[in-house]
Amino acid sequence: MVDLNHVAFVEDDNDLRIANCQTLELAGFKVQPFSDAMAALQSLTPDFPGVVITDVRMPHIDGLELFRRLREMDSDLPVILITGHGDIDMAVEAIHKGAYDFIAKPYPADRLVQSIMRALEKRRLVMENRALRLAVENSNETLIGQTPVMQNLRKTLRHVAGADVDVLIAGETGTGKEVVAGLLHEWSRRKQGNFVALNCGALPETVIESELFGHEAGAFTGAQKKRVGRIEHASGGTLFLDEIESMPLSTQVKLLRVLETREITPLGTNEHRPVDLRVVAAAKVDLGSAEQRANFREDLFYRLNVVTVSIPPLRERRDDIMLLFTHFLQRASLRFKTEPPEITASTRSYLIEHDWPGNVRELVHFAERAALGLDTIETAKPETDSNGSSLPQAVELYEEKLIRQALVLHNGDVRSTIEALGIPRKTFYDKLQRHGIDRSDYVAGK
């Protein structure tokens, strides 16, 4: 969080300037006094961490001209105008042009202090958003995070990657286990080889062995041609086995033999083929616990557990959440061709306080919805069009938002999206055309 409590106070009357600065200092602000607008313009910069307060009536450059010049320098810099009764109309016009507030003389000190505090909160959000965007731009890490636990994780991965040993990755669902596996591959001598990923929990028992070991033509009913298995395809590179705790016991026995002999025997042949691969396995349960391991072979666990890398859940590295969200928000806005919205105070509070049971994956989905103006903290209550939309127009807008949200949640997959929406395929495509929605913008990885 950016800590801001600076106040630039511009007043040509010496006694008023001294008295107001003393009042504001007693209220806890760091005050920079200026006797004229030119002195303030020469000192203030676009990264000024605070608020500018200026009297309207000043010689040479008045407060309104100072406001205009400051706005050219930084349109987000809050400027509070101190006015006499004859200047109120001009001050109101300045508010319409972006001035933060105006206070008419005479005024109680508390009125000024309260306005400054609100303006500083606005400035803090602006500066924090800028800092986050800059941090994202300057970050060249795939595994984003500035907390000590993430710095240590990156250091461990770089060390382990060069050791060319099998690795077991432990972490909750959505923490980024495949990203970590990919980095172990990219940072190793095997990076020129294939990175082959297989989710063991997504394949039925009748298919997984053929996927892993391959088969010859005619090895079983339906095997019309030879198929190279994932293990052989990963030779010279890295094989990533996700949700390995879901692997059938019969397949575990064969995988253990591959790890021990570094050779495979495809289905339908007695031929032994050597393979040069590194295995990176991931589990969402603690395989070191007999209870959580359930039907997972103990000998396979110990064979895989040469090195274990643990990925912390998002709730244990909350200081990374804003940086991650900013990154995902910018990425989603680029993908959906929208302007990234500013991160408000309520959104920030939600991001920091939420427990994120779905971890980084859940945060990504939240950022995608925010980029589309869907399902964020600000839009949780029913919306109305500020221009007074008719009921049919409001229905059209709501329908478009529902379609876009469904596309985000299902990564642009047509079948899953129309099932979620409960509409026929033709109707779906008609609505895409009517609302000007390009489904391909929502396809994962695009």
DSSP sequence for 128-169: HHHHHHHHHHH---SS---SHHHHHHHHHHHHHHTTT--EEE
CATH topology agreement for domains 314-381 and 386-446: no
What residue segments make up the domains of the chain, in order of their start? 6-138, 148-312, 314-381, 386-446
Contact 140, 128 (CB under 8 A): no
Contact 195, 187 (CB under 8 A): no
Q: So what's the architecture of 314-381 in CATH? A: Orthogonal Bundle (1.10)
pTM attached to this predicted model: 0.65
Quickly count: other Cβ atoms within 10 Å of residue 69's Cβ: 15
Q: What residues does 52 pair with on adjacent strands? A: 8, 79
Class for the domain spanning 386-446: mainly alpha
Q: Does the pLDDT of residue 407 top 50, yes or no? A: yes
Residue 224 binned pLDDT confidence (cut-offs 50, 70, 90): low
Per-residue pLDDT tens over the stretch 246-300? 999 999 999 999 999 999 988 777 888 899 999 999 998 888 887 777 789 999 9
Query: What local confidence, expressed as pLDDT, does residue 349 receive?
Result: 85
What separation in angstroms does the CA of 218 have from each of 56, 114, 225, 230? 89, 81, 7, 19
Per-residue pLDDT tens over the stretch 24-51? 999 999 999 999 999 999 999 998 999 9
Class for the domain spanning 6-138: alpha beta
Quickly tell me which residue has 């990923």 as its tokens: 197
If you average pLDDT over residues 53-78, what whole number do you get?
92
Lowest pLDDT segment from 116-130, 226-240, 284-298, 359-373: 284-298
Domain 148-312 has CATH 1.10.3660.10: no
Which residues in 119-144 are b (16+ Cβ under 10 Å) and which e? bbeebbbbbbbebbbeebeeeeeebb
Residue 65 binned pLDDT confidence (cut-offs 50, 70, 90): very high
